[in-house]
Amino acid sequence: MNSVIKNIIYSFLLIVSAFNITTVEAGFVPYGRIFKAVKDERPYITQAQDSRTQLQLHKKILLNYPESMTGVSSYVYLGHGFLVGEVENDAERAGLVECAKSITDLNGVSYFLPQKKSSDNSTPSELEIKLKGMLEPNYPSSKLTVKVVQDTVIIIGVLDDQEQESALKTVQEISGSSKIINFLQVPQQQKMQRQKRHPLRNFFSN
């Protein structure tokens, strides 16, 4: 009888332990990523495609130009590739652009890759840190990326017209006289609405 009771208690403890483990594992959720995905204007499938393509681009650069990884950042938004950072010479710049162009899933490549200055370092500038601190509460990195290269502010991401106006105004106010390169894109749905042409019959309506 005692052995039966012991077996029941032991089984109960195993069940409780298993339940606790399952609960902990199921409770481990990347809230930041979920928040970014919800805030992102891109469809989930587009976000996944962009992430996969960005990984391909990153890998391509790592294999062909590993020395560039510390000074050049790569991004993909809406199937468009972006390269931002500093290079040693024109040959490195051309090689990096060719690496990006060789990714078949990219529909285009934009870049800002000035030649490195001897006095510069690869750590984020105070201006870049300040800009990110002001923008990230409203625009997570999945929607908007800000880089500062040689006193030039580069803005990359996907924002609607109103968000772009607000973000650019914030950047201009904080950066002051710094040059700004705007690589922002509008969401796909908004793009489609802009590009939508009226039916031919509209041209012949009375």
Domain of 88, CATH number, reads 3.30.1340.30
Residue 198 forms part of a structural domain: no
User: Longest Cα pair distance anywhere in the chain, in angstroms?
Assistant: 96
Residue 199 forms part of a structural domain: no
Which amino acid, one-letter code, is at 192?
M
CA atoms within 13 A on the CB side of 66: 1
pLDDT of residue 122: 58
Tokens of 69: 């990884």
pLDDT of residue 119: 59
Residue 50 forms part of a structural domain: yes
pLDDT of residue 151: 87
Tokens of 177: 């006289």
Q: Which domain does 135 fall in, by range?
A: 43-193
Name the residue among 137, 135, 139 with its Cα closest to residue 39.
139
Overall number of domains in the chain: 1
pLDDT of residue 34: 38
pLDDT of residue 39: 52
Strand 108-112 relative to strand 80-85, pairing: parallel
Low-confidence ranges of the chain (pLDDT < 50): 8-10, 12-38, 190-206
Residue 4 forms part of a structural domain: no
Residue 124 forms part of a structural domain: yes
pLDDT tens digit string along 1-40? 555 555 544 454 444 444 443 333 333 333 333 334 445 5
pLDDT of residue 7: 54
Residue 18 forms part of a structural domain: no
Residue 138 forms part of a structural domain: yes
Residue 65 forms part of a structural domain: yes
pLDDT of residue 19: 42
Predicted structure pTM score: 0.69
Q: Answer whether 95's CB lies under 8 Å from 64's CB.
A: yes
How far is residue 4's CA from residue 2's CA, in Å, rounded to a whole number? 5
Q: Answer whether 131's CB lies under 8 Å from 153's CB.
A: yes
How far is residue 16's CA from residue 26's CA, in Å, rounded to a whole number? 15
